Structure 1
């Protein structure tokens, strides 16, 4: 799957037409409140709210962009500054003489995490960073007059964001130039994926350097390999791989053969080579390279690696006897922390899906099943309506058993040695805590999946309940 898995579609509603009138009258309400719209506030949204509250206390609320207090909470809209007041946006759209560009940027659910577009916060940051530049590149609205509002949606098949863009000056009122739009779409994809390329480059560099060290160490420790490399080197001249490739191709071929032998016989080296190759291809994917450009990218990376590995073999052949390393790499942790960054993102994505795709009664039903210990296939079917959870359930058949185990754990913790008053308090909090329980549920689904992936075994409830027991026990005191 290439970077083109980000799809951008644009339409223009010209001023004075029926579609233009519909944008402010119904389209805005549709994207703000339709089923699947993610209304949960991201961490960025909450941070801006706190800043706005402070600014209000200091008397600066009317001067700071985006600092207007939100009087109609519950919609999914966001813009360049935070969460706007919906009614003001609607009035602005109804009054503008500018054409309105209605856009949709979408990715398939199975690609969302890989592309860094899983949660609302990731979408907000991507759009705010890339969209103004995108509109400017179309050449239809001056940068200082670009105005836009967005809403992120989750469906059974995709994650997407609707964007309404218009000209605050009212000067824009024509169709988009097709040639510029095609180029702008490609650049938008590159801009959105740019933050993902840096960690991929880091992984590629780490794998490459570790592979170079492995080849050098293998030559140092194996006298026969060391002698084979030394015998291939010319008596005079530079011993750099690039020079040998030009002037002594036979020597280069021999060194390449030694390196290939080391990699084929060394399991760690094979793993590193595989990691390096995957990183190279992933980087090319994130740049949207295809055809000849992709071939040139891969060829240049392979040439660089051969040069580094050859120079490592030369350096080892010129050194004295190999010495024992003073330290050894520590063994990797047996399992990932329960709340690793990856799992936090997955958890947040599941919670956003639950809040957007499950009704209040369905969420409460899941909560009641967990609280009472009466988890059934019907509740598993509700969870399967969430795209991320459905994918994890498909990969790890042990998860339904873990869910049943979790329900009995929470039931014991919530309905155990608590006073009647505490049980009553718990019942009153059911509606408020149903979403929080879905968070716990998400963690169990995720942890069961990761253990299954790591150990290729089916985890039982006792493997997943350590932190959940502590969480569930605290429910009796009214905490999540």
Structure 2
């Protein structure tokens, strides 16, 4: 079985002088190590206000790093001091999502990780430890590397009274909860696939010729599949055998049943279910579909004695394309670039953009998206040259500010947006429509860069 899409690891550092020093060092490690995302999300920007943002920008290098808490960015020194002075245990948690899954789950952006951790983690920690939610205090940092997007969370009881190991049962419950929340966008798609397959199966059963069902049913009264299973097991078994024969003779029904099975297994995988829990989930879904198909067959045999088909609300899929989707994707790619490209190289790329020079593969070295594209797509270098040349031209024009404003302070952000636009082309394999006029493409990139 493939590895789960979300991996959650816990470690408890018990109280004690040396242990507290170790935990305080973990805060510095999480907040300053290579790959940490150092940026202010839109939500944190609103919390900090103008004065707070100015202070953050002035002090973040080396001291603030990429740590954040429930109320905004946190300086590494402040987190180290708080953890060292706390009298209780420290729970260190790492929630990991592979790079190939993170964009589809929306977890390639800092604001998405912050929303997930801030909304779910205090409650889950409280459920695992019994510490009141009002006393939960955490420090977290998002990291990007060659294999995954992940977040480190260091959690303490603000009162310093919690000092115990975690029960395995409660850790498992928290793991399943945070995994389901993290995979919510992908689960929504999997649920839609499952529902469509279920409806296709019921439609296929409804089109089966009535004469195919040579079954002896009770002479009178209301008939339902669950009633037959309980009070008339022989008739229920005959009905299931007839449906099995129909599935073997109907490619449409067999295909729908197979799609439903695969969709259910995907749901179980995205929920990170394992072992007996996973088997139970898959079995319940198969049993539910079996009952629905039996009721659909009964409606074919005795339509006047069978309940009408239950109407299931249709789920709406999230849009796969469009300006908002592209903006979110490029925001995630900008986060990746910020975490994986050293500051000196970003400054060099900004100078290249201002001078109208094109990007080179070495400029994107270390970005998982670029590394993956160069590794698997032979035409990635050509796509990089085409996309980077276009984006660089637009970026150079954007530096000519009509109002005479000094654009030097924005060069780094402009370079990040240029890189994000280039990475997006690489991620798609450079398969954009070649018939689109260059001016329209340039205008589109310019709108992205100047946002």
The equivalent of 2:312 in structure 1 is: none
The equivalent of 2:267 in structure 1 is: 283
Helix, strand or coil: the match of 2:238? helix
Alignment partner for residue 195 of structure 1, among 161, 181, 185? 181
Alignment partner for residue 438 of structure 1, among 412, 419, 433? 419
Any residues of structure 2 matched to 1:220-239 within 5 Å, and which? Answer: 225-229=208-212, 231-232=214-215, 234=217, 236-237=219-220, 239=223
Residues 440 and 465 of structure 1: CA distance in aligned 2, closer, same or farther (over 3 Å)? farther
- Scaled by the length of structure 1, the TM-score of the pair is 0.72
Any residues of structure 2 matched to 1:113-128 within 5 Å, and which? Answer: 113=103, 117-128=107-118
The equivalent of 1:20 in structure 2 is: 20
CA distance in 2, matches of 1:218, 1:138: 47
The CA RMSD over aligned residues, in Å, is: 4.4
- Cα drift, residue 400 of structure 1: 2.9
- Cα drift, residue 186 of structure 1: 1.4
The equivalent of 1:41 in structure 2 is: 40
Is 2:238 the counterpart of 1:250?
Answer: yes
CA distance in 1, matches of 2:191, 2:174: 26
Unmatched tracts of structure 1, length 5 or more: 62-66, 321-334, 453-457
CA contact (8 A) 1:203 1:279 kept: no
CA contact (8 A) 1:201 1:279 kept: no
Greater mean alpha carbon deviation, residues 432-441 or residues 391-400 = 391-400
Q: Deviations over 1:288-332 (max 9, x none)?
A: 433333222212211211221232233245679xxxxxxxxxxxx
Is 2:356 the counterpart of 1:380?
Answer: no
CA distance in 2, matches of 1:432, 1:204: 36
Helix, strand or coil: the match of 2:73? coil
Unmatched tracts of structure 2, length 5 or more: 305-318
CA contact (8 A) 1:216 1:312 kept: yes
- Scaled by the length of structure 2, the TM-score of the pair is 0.75
The equivalent of 1:469 in structure 2 is: 442
The equivalent of 1:325 in structure 2 is: none
The equivalent of 2:153 in structure 1 is: 163
Residues 215 and 275 of structure 1: CA distance in aligned 2, closer, same or farther (over 3 Å)? closer
Residues 384 and 460 of structure 1: CA distance in aligned 2, closer, same or farther (over 3 Å)? farther
The equivalent of 2:87 in structure 1 is: 98
The equivalent of 1:408 in structure 2 is: 389
CA contact (8 A) 1:217 1:316 kept: no
- Cα drift, residue 257 of structure 1: 2.1
Q: Deviations over 1:63-102 (max 9, x none)?
A: xxxx9975734531111222235554444345x2514526
- Cα drift, residue 392 of structure 1: 4.4
The equivalent of 1:332 in structure 2 is: none
Is 2:168 the counterpart of 1:182?
Answer: yes
Helix, strand or coil: the match of 2:321? coil
CA distance in 2, matches of 1:433, 1:167: 41
Helix, strand or coil: the match of 2:17? coil
Residues 80 and 284 of structure 1: CA distance in aligned 2, closer, same or farther (over 3 Å)? same
